[in-house]
Structures are given as C-alpha cells and as structure tokens.
Structure 1
Amino acid sequence: MKQFAFLFIIALSFISCKESAEEAKAVLSESNGKINNVSIIIDDNLWNGEIGDSIRKKFAAPVDGLPQEEPLFTLNQYPTKVFEGFVRKSRNIIIVKKGKEAGFASNTNKYAKPQNVFFISGTDTEDVLTILEQKSAEIIKTIKASEIIENQVRMKKSLISDAQIQKMFGVSLKIGFGYKYDMVKDKFIWLRKEFTSGYNSVLIYEVPISTVEKDTNIIANITAMRDEIGKANIQGTLPNTWMITEAAYAPYLFDVTIAGKKTYLTKGTWELKNDFMAGPFVNYAIKDTKNNRYLILEGFTYNPSKSKRDWVFELEAIIQSVKFLK
C-alpha cells in the first residue's frame, strides 16, 4: 500500500510538472519586432566600447550582394535596467554582461514565442570578446533561419495559388498575397509584387544539368544562364533593353542545401542593358537529379534609393519554402 501511495505521488508530481510547463508555455505572449531586428541588452559603458564595436562588426556587417551597404541585422540597444515589457518580448535578444563567470547559453521561447535569447557573459572584456568571436556565426545562423520561418508564417496568412507552378514544375511554393503572375510560358514563370517605391519579382524555370555544370566555372555558367534568360524574357520599357548580371562586380557564390538537394546560391546585382535600372538578385540553382535538371528559383528587387535588405529576404523566404512533389 505504501509503495502504491509513493508511486501515486510521483505520478501526480509528474503530471503537475507537465501541466505547469504546458501552462507556462500557453501563457507566453507573442513576440514582437520587425524582420531582421535584434535587441541587444547591454549597458551603455560596454556598448560604447570594444564589446559594442565587436557586436556591431559581427551582427551589423554588410549583407552580401546588395548594391548599397546595409546591415545584416538592425540592432536596437537597451541597458539591462530597461529589460522588461515590450523589450523582453522581442523576437531576437542578445544579452551581454560582465559577471563572475564566463559563459554562453541560448534559449528559445523564454519570455515570448517565437523567440531566440542568447546570453553572453565574461569576467572581463577579453572574455566577452572571445565568446563573441566563437559564437557569433552560430547566433547569426540561428537568427537568420528563424527569421525565414517568421517571414513564411506571415505570408501563410494569405497565400496566392501556386497551381500553375505545381503543374509546370512539380514543386510547390508558399507565395504571399500581392504577387501576381506576370508571365507564364513554356517552362518559365515570372511573378511580380508591386509596392510604393518599386517591386519584387520571382522567376521559376529549369535548365539541363549541363548548363550549370558544363565546366568547373560554376559562377560563369550561372551568369551566362541568367543573361540568356534575361534577354529572352525580362525586357525593359525602352527598346533594346533587357536584364543582365552586372558586369562590374562578380556575384557571390555559396554551396547550400534546399529541400534536401544540392544547391548553388548566387547573390549579386542585376541591371538593364542599355538602361539605368538595377537592383539585387538571389538565384538558387537546385540540382534535381531525379528529373535530370536544375530547377532555378530566382528573386530580384527594384527599389531605387531605398532599403532592399528585407525585400530580398522576403524573396529568400518564398524560395526556401519550395517542396518537390515528384
């Protein structure tokens, strides 16, 4: 009987703990913040010194592939004494302080959801700088991945139909409200979303594997492919104008994985030949061995004299939502 009572108490405690955890999770309010914004909780004396310089250098570094310099994240600094209310509910938080021990920790959904919280502490400036050097890449990767998801969640609230994309290419894409089919032809789709100061575009097409892999100069092959597609499909309003890859600056090339498939990610600047329009692009060449092709998903932005970072990020969120159906 005593053994039964003991087991009952343990079971009751387990249920109680589980319910408490679920209740705590349930009462978490929604996090806040614009896309690619990070709250830095750090006292002014540290922010205005070496530690602050290191944080800005790492988390506000220029984004690759944009025509004008824009920071990786928009950093909002708050002293530790004001870490409450809406600040505590920020979606991305990095807390930096000096203390009795050096250490790093990360947490999800600690004060709100969804949320990333990173804790960095050190006994002196050198400790903190060392941890920033060791952990900044991990923090950046985590925040970027979760911001892609956040962008996709926001778009899912109002999606346009991707039926034509599924039928033509055998893939699905989550494309938010505002995008319209601008051109649909044999194995080529162009969607465009207009906004006050410009527009975003998504291109979908496919090429034989040999187009991208005809030799080892992948970046040159992708550039030539883009220029050929641009001349055939993306013309300007003036005669004899079409989209090309800007010749003055070589694009950035990255090896990534999208939908479990080997992918070449190219970031650079497009321009209209014989005209003055230009802007950033991201090109994902996804190797689809099963269908003997590279599926090309590209996004490009036109937003002259204004910020382009978050518009390009929206394009990446759309592209990274791709799912292969066959």
Structure 2
Amino acid sequence: MRILLLSVCSLFLLLGCQNKPKKNYKPASLGAINTLAVVMDNDLWEGPVGDKVREHFAAPVLGLTWDEPLLNLEHMPGSVFNGTTRHRRAVLFVDLDTVSGAQIQDDLYATPQKVAVIKGKSEAELISSIESASPQIITAFKGMELKESQNRFLRSLSKETVLSEKFGVSLRLPSLYKVGKEEEGFVWIDREIQKGSMNIIVYEMPGDSFESDSTFVQDILHMRDSIGKKFIPGPDVPGKTTYMGTEKAFAPYVFPAEVGGMKAVEVRGIWEVVNYPMAGPFLTYIINDKARNRKLVVEGFTFAPATNKRDYMFELEAIMKTITFQ
C-alpha cells in the first residue's frame, strides 16, 4: 500500500511539472552603457535618413564642456544582425516598408533590452517618423541605461550612513565613493578617477527658497556660488581667493523633474574655479521636500581635464536618481 501511495504521489508531481507553462528564458543583454546598435541598410545609413538618425540619437549632451554624443551609434546592416549580435541591449531598426510608424518592444531577443522599430514607405516618411518618434525612443533608451547602471552598483555598495544621519536620505552609492568632507548641513562624497575625480555634494536650503519666478535662475546661481565659496575651495593662489562657482558665460539648462518621488528641478551647466583655470560639468537636483519644509540639493560634478565626461556624468545622474527618503 505504501509503495502504491508513493507511486501515485510521484505521478501527480510529474503531471504537475508537465502542466506548468514553460518559461521563455532569454540571455542577458550585451553592450556598453549608452551604446546603440543601429540596424539599417548601408544606402539609408549613408544618406539623409542616416543623417536624421545621427541628428537625434547622437545629438550633443547638454551641459558638457565640449560636444559628446547622447549615444554611441554602431551601424550594422540587417544581414549581420544575428546570433549574439541580437543580444545588444539597445537596438534601433530603420527600414523601408509598406507601412509607416514607430514602436518600441521590450526584451525581444535578450533581457533587459529595448528594440525600437521605425518604418516608412519612402525615405521622406522615414525621416518624418524619426523626427516625431525619436524623443520617446531616446527617453526609453535612457531610462533602461540608467536602470542598468543602477543595477551594476549593487555589485559593491558603500556602507556609509552619513546621508541617512544628516539628511534622512540614502543613495545607492558604489563602494568606490568615499566621504571627503562632512560639515554642518553639508556632505561631500567623491571618487578618484584616472585624471581627476567624480563628486557628489548634498545640502539643504530653506523650504521657501526659489519662490520668485523672475529671479529663479539667478537664485540658483547665487546658491551654488555661495555654497562653493563656503565649502569647496580651489587651489592656493597667493593674493587670491579661489572656490568653485558657476561659469557665467554659459547659461545653465533648467528643467522640471521628479526625483525620489518628489517634484524637483534639474539644472545642468558648467562649474569653474573662480580665479583659477579649472572647469567641468555639473548636474544639480533641487528637490522640494515639503514634509521637512526644505529644499534638498543633490549635485554631481566631474573634474577630468582633457577627458570625455559624458559617462562620468551619466553615472552621477544614475546614483542621484536612486535617492530614497526615510
């Protein structure tokens, strides 16, 4: 009887396993951060359609010291898009077809992956579709790349608790970043890189700051300059005071944003050291924390002379966008 019972149980287990839907496992996607595989015929790539793709997907990133493309484009004809090449994380198909339009598909050949498809009945329709669809597609690619960067941080996270203790927030901060300065109401965290450093600073402003629309940008510049003068000194120069300020020759870019589930303002621009020839890009989030009646300021900036800075700033953006409020 016991043998029969065991046999029946085994049969039910076997049947149960057979009836479960099979999971469609897909390989992990490949590719460097901010790299886009563009799949289209050579004739299209070398003509006006390719020019339109480059115009949008390789447009200069705002707020850098020199032009760097939004995405590195790697063109390939459809005949070579097979095997592991299909596992690229970000893919853009552009082709002539009997229909026109654009769509984005997730995890088509690998995961995570976004495959954008743009089709048109003629080159003119392709160009029109690229023009209209590229903002949405770029937003989707960037969101995926930010998430990929944030997931890579999990390999080795910092155990620093200073942001929690001082400001009641936390960041998904890679362990390479260390606290360099901690003062009342101000924290400076940095990471050494080959030719300089990547930096994150956090501080608070009163809740009623930046209330005037007419002086909004000027108030932001004044805030940055006053914080730089107080906490971020430059090199010693006899007879001069040096500190990090805002480059006045380039107006910063200001956008509405949402960070940590709260309304915020995003500011991109160029910092400089007053009275000394040093400069670089910065990205600032001014977060409206109504619960604590404050504006929490989180800023990332890079010092890397004669070096491309897009990917450094992208990493800082990815870090700052992991902020959580306790």
Deviation at 1:277, TM superposition (A): 1.0
C-alpha separation in 2, matches of 1:37 and 1:131: 21
Of residues 100-109 and 142-151 in structure 1, the stretch that sits farther from structure 2 once superposed is 100-109
Q: What residue number does 2:3 align with?
A: none
Residue pairs, 1:77-96, within 5 angstroms = 77-96=75-94
Q: 1:19 aligned to 2:21?
A: yes
Deviation at 1:85, TM superposition (A): 2.6
Residue 117 of structure 2 aligns with an amino acid whose one-letter code is F
C-alpha separation in 2, matches of 1:19 and 1:103: 34
Residue pairs, 1:21-40, within 5 angstroms = 22=23, 24=24, 26=25, 28-40=26-38
- Aligned-residue sequence identity (percent) comes to 38
Residue 160 of structure 1 aligns with an amino acid whose one-letter code is S
Q: What residue number does 1:54 align with?
A: 52
- Which runs of at least 4 in structure 1 moved beyond 4 Å after TM superposition? none
Structure 1: state its 5+ residue gaps. 1-11
Residue 181 of structure 1 aligns with an amino acid whose one-letter code is V
Residue 132 of structure 1 aligns with an amino acid whose one-letter code is I
1:126 equivalent among 124, 127, 131 = 124
Structure 2: state its 5+ residue gaps. 1-14
Q: What residue number does 2:249 align with?
A: 248
Question: 1:191-211: CA deviations, max 9, x gaps?
Answer: 010011111000000010233
Residue pairs, 1:283-302, within 5 angstroms = 283-302=284-303
Equivalent residue of 2:266, what SS?
A: strand
C-alpha separation in 1, matches of 2:210 and 2:319: 23
Question: 1:278-300: CA deviations, max 9, x gaps?
Answer: 10000000000110100000000
C-alpha separation in 2, matches of 1:181 and 1:286: 22
Equivalent residue of 2:159, what SS?
A: coil
Of residues 264-273 and 125-134 in structure 1, the stretch that sits farther from structure 2 once superposed is 125-134
Q: 1:282 aligned to 2:283?
A: yes
Equivalent residue of 1:304, what SS?
A: coil
Q: What residue number does 1:270 align with?
A: 271
Q: What residue number does 2:159 align with?
A: 161
TM-score (norm 2): 0.91
C-alpha separation in 1, matches of 2:36 and 2:232: 36
C-alpha separation in 2, matches of 1:182 and 1:259: 24
Whose helix proportion is higher, 1 or 2?
1
C-alpha separation in 2, matches of 1:51 and 1:282: 33
C-alpha separation in 2, matches of 1:235 and 1:254: 28
Question: 1:82-115: CA deviations, max 9, x gaps?
Answer: 0013321111000111122223222111111110
C-alpha separation in 2, matches of 1:214 and 1:51: 45
TM-score (norm 1): 0.91
Judge conservation of contact 1:156–1:176 (CA < 8 Å) in 2.
Answer: yes
C-alpha separation in 1, matches of 2:102 and 2:69: 24
Q: What residue number does 1:310 align with?
A: 311
Equivalent residue of 2:102, what SS?
A: strand
Q: What residue number does 1:179 align with?
A: 177
Equivalent residue of 2:277, what SS?
A: coil
